[in-house]
Amino acid sequence: MAIFAYMIQVYCKNTGTYKSFREGTTLLDMLPSFDFPQPFPIVSAKVNNVSQGLKFRVYNSRDVEFVDATSASGMRVYNRSLFFLLCKAARDVIKGSRLNVEHPISHGYYCELVKADGGKVTQADVDKIKARMKSIVERDLNFHRYEVQTDEAIKIFKGSEDKVRLLRTSGQVYMDYYTLGRTADYYYGRLVPSTGYLKVWDLQLFHEGMLLRGPDKHSPDKVAPYVAQPKTFGMFKENLRWNQIMGLRTVGDLNLSCLEGHGSELIQIAEALQEKKIVQIAEQIEKLFYGRRKVRLVLITGPSSSGKTTVSQRLAVQLKACGLRPLTFSTDDYFVNRVDTPKLPDGSYDFDNFDTVDHEALQKDLLRILNGEEVEVPEYNFKTGIREYKGKKFKMGPNNVVVVEGIHALNPRLTDQIPNARKFRIYISTLTGIALDAHNCIPTSDNRLLRRIVRDCYKGAFTARETIAQWPLVRKAEEEWIYPYQENADVMFNSAYLVEFAVLRNHAEPILESVPKNCPEYSEAHRLLKFIHYFTPIPDNEIPNTSLLREFVGGSSFTYPR
């Protein structure tokens, strides 16, 4: 009896050509048929704008785009695979140990190794794990993917309570998991086909744990350069300590707490923690205001959607409670007229460039204000693109402190004529302290991207598709203009909200679902939708109107620039 093989048509976006394949052919087997430049190894692909592993079998005609680790989706696939490699190696050589992939730091990932004997991680431990990882890479072992009913997955991971709690509260009927040798693990995205792909990485002893360093996203044939971030690491540790106190280290913990009716209490705790930190910062400024430094200028910065505008306004309230009178404005008010704005290579305006701000005029006005002169400060008209003067004047009194907020506020060039002793610098970040489970940390930028998508939509500024399309440029600007100066801060404030994703789910879900499947941005929308579905939703009706989250979901009692 003859067996007929059905043929499918695959359109490759990398070459702009069609080719025919037998149905069920894997992406890995298709790849050699398409001839296009591959400066770095292909690690995954997008099929109809959805990220898939190279072992994905195609049964119908599809659009396919092969990607390497220079793409965000490709880098996620590579790093997830590295996590599994590290987890297996640690389990193999440090018997009875448990590994927690905690958070990104210093262009790598901080990992906590909990040893069965409770001892500290040593250089010898790291050397053993590293040698085992290299051995597994040299053997080129396959990652095998299986799809099973969630109840079956729970049985497989019995004993790993973080995964069991996540699976039980996910609401999914089927789940997929991977094996490497005899080791099974769960990851919320695809992996590379085999360990032989994982040639670029390093592992080092780092604080009380280890730092896993993957490829540089610009040159994935090299390990990402180490960047010292002691203050950022300290903020992560503080956040982790609070999560441990409340017993909420993973999403499964959070979901169970919400399902048990503790959502209101968690909101109250989240608000209390943030307000406590803001009060501490205000009191620190008050002490320096009257102390030897005689601080008179507070500079606040943070990346996009970090909540710096709300933090600035809440800080102003607490400064008043300390008896100080803040004079507040934004560096945005000193934007050059739009026609003079620097441009990107494609001809569009580069609004994140340092020279978008008339920093000479800003610093001149700050110096005059600090010297006791009355100064008229501008207000930028975002509709006309012109800096306007409408009679807004500042003059320092005995209890006044100037508060300046903006993305360039910590750039030393902005205030290089003002003595550092008179400045107090605050960096606002959004460092997600909770993880999906022990081996799946949440990218810190996902917090801010979801915030921005919701806010842009509600303000009528951009659709989700437009916001997602702009995001790579936003991130590039942050790396150039914000992150290099974050360690200059006198204090860091983590604006991540304990139950944020549970609250954002109700808002973000319908917005993300509006992204058309036939556009490139659907890949990111699909990933974010899958991600927020892990969270048990919490209504926002109990979130106060002074909450930082109100800046993004609406209903804030504060006013924001349009």
DSSP for 34-45, written as a single string = S----SS-EEEE
Q: Is residue 504 part of a domain?
A: yes
* Average pLDDT of span 3-10: 81
Dihedral (C-alpha) 274, 279, 280, 285: value to the nearest 10 degrees? Answer: 130
- The mean predicted confidence, pLDDT, of the chain is 94
**Which range of residues forms the domain containing residue 207?**
81-228
Calculate the alpha carbon distances from 278 to 121, 274, 428, 552 in Å. Answer: 35, 6, 11, 19
Could you tell me if 502 and 536 are in contact, meaning their C-beta atoms sit under 8 angstroms apart? Answer: yes
pLDDT digits (tens, 9 = 90+) for 503-527: 999 999 999 999 999 999 999 999 9
Q: Is pLDDT above 60 for 1? A: no
DSSP category for residue 462: -
Per-residue pLDDT, 443:
86
pTM of the model: 0.94
* Average pLDDT of span 157-161: 92
Q: Is pLDDT above 90 for 238? A: no
- Collapsing DSSP to helix, strand or coil, 277 comes out as helix
pLDDT digits (tens, 9 = 90+) for 242-279: 777 777 889 999 999 999 999 999 999 889 989 999 99
Calculate the alpha carbon distances from 389 to 376, 381, 395 in Å. Answer: 7, 10, 16
Q: Is pLDDT above 70 for 293? A: yes
pLDDT digits (tens, 9 = 90+) for 531-545: 999 999 999 999 999
The reply to whether 420 and 355 lie within a common domain is yes
Q: CATH number, domain at 48? A: 3.10.20.30
Which tokens belong to 23?
């149905």
The reply to whether 366 and 422 lie within a common domain is yes
E strand or H helix at 154: helix 150-156
Domain-terminating residue out of 196, 228, 260 = 228
pLDDT digits (tens, 9 = 90+) for 411-433: 999 999 999 999 999 999 998 87
Per-residue pLDDT, 241:
79
Q: CATH number, domain at 490? A: 3.40.50.300
Q: CATH number, domain at 179? A: 3.30.980.10
The reply to whether 262 and 288 lie within a common domain is yes
* Average pLDDT of span 133-159: 96
Given pLDDT bands bounded at 50, 70 and 90, which one contains residue 146?
very high
DSSP category for residue 113: E
Per-residue pLDDT, 246:
75
Given pLDDT bands bounded at 50, 70 and 90, which one contains residue 461?
confident
The reply to whether 99 and 54 lie within a common domain is no
Q: Is residue 277 part of a domain?
A: yes
- CA distance linking residue 542 with residue 540, whole number of Å: 5
Q: Is pLDDT above 60 for 52? A: yes
Per-residue pLDDT, 237:
85
Per-residue pLDDT, 98:
93
Calculate the alpha carbon distances from 312 to 6, 25, 362, 422, 454 in Å. Answer: 62, 55, 18, 18, 21
Per-residue pLDDT, 562:
62
Residue 480's φ and ψ, nearest 5 degrees, are -85, -40
Which tokens belong to 69?
């680790």
Instruction: State how beta strands 50-52 and 57-58 pair.
Output: unpaired
Calculate the alpha carbon distances from 558 to 150, 282, 333, 452 in Å. Answer: 44, 18, 18, 17
The 10 Å CB-count burial string (b at 16+, else e) for 388-414 is: eeeeeebebeeebbbbbbbbbbbbeeb
The reply to whether 33 and 169 lie within a common domain is no
The reply to whether 21 and 118 lie within a common domain is no
Instruction: State how beta strands 202-206 and 209-213 pair.
Output: antiparallel
Total structural domains within the chain: 3
Query: Which of the residue ranges 30-34, 234-238, 314-318, 371-375 would you say has the lowest mean pLDDT?
Result: 234-238
The reply to whether 482 and 547 lie within a common domain is yes
pLDDT digits (tens, 9 = 90+) for 171-188: 889 999 999 999 999 998
Domain-terminating residue out of 68, 90, 112 = 68
Q: Is pLDDT above 90 for 4? A: no
Per-residue pLDDT, 498:
84
Which tokens belong to 382?
């975002």
- CA distance linking residue 294 with residue 287, whole number of Å: 9
* Average pLDDT of span 207-227: 96
- Collapsing DSSP to helix, strand or coil, 221 comes out as coil
Which of 83, 499, 80 shows the shortest CA–CA distance to 274?
A: 499
The reply to whether 122 and 34 lie within a common domain is no
DSSP for 313-373, written as a single string = HHHHHHHHHTT-EEEEEEGGGGBPPGGGS-B-TTSSB-TTSGGGB-HHHHHHHHHHHHTT-
- CA distance linking residue 498 with residue 433, whole number of Å: 8
The reply to whether 49 and 115 lie within a common domain is no
Q: Is pLDDT above 60 for 3? A: no
Query: Which of the residue ranges 57-61, 344-348, 465-469, 535-539 would you say has the lowest mean pLDDT?
Result: 344-348
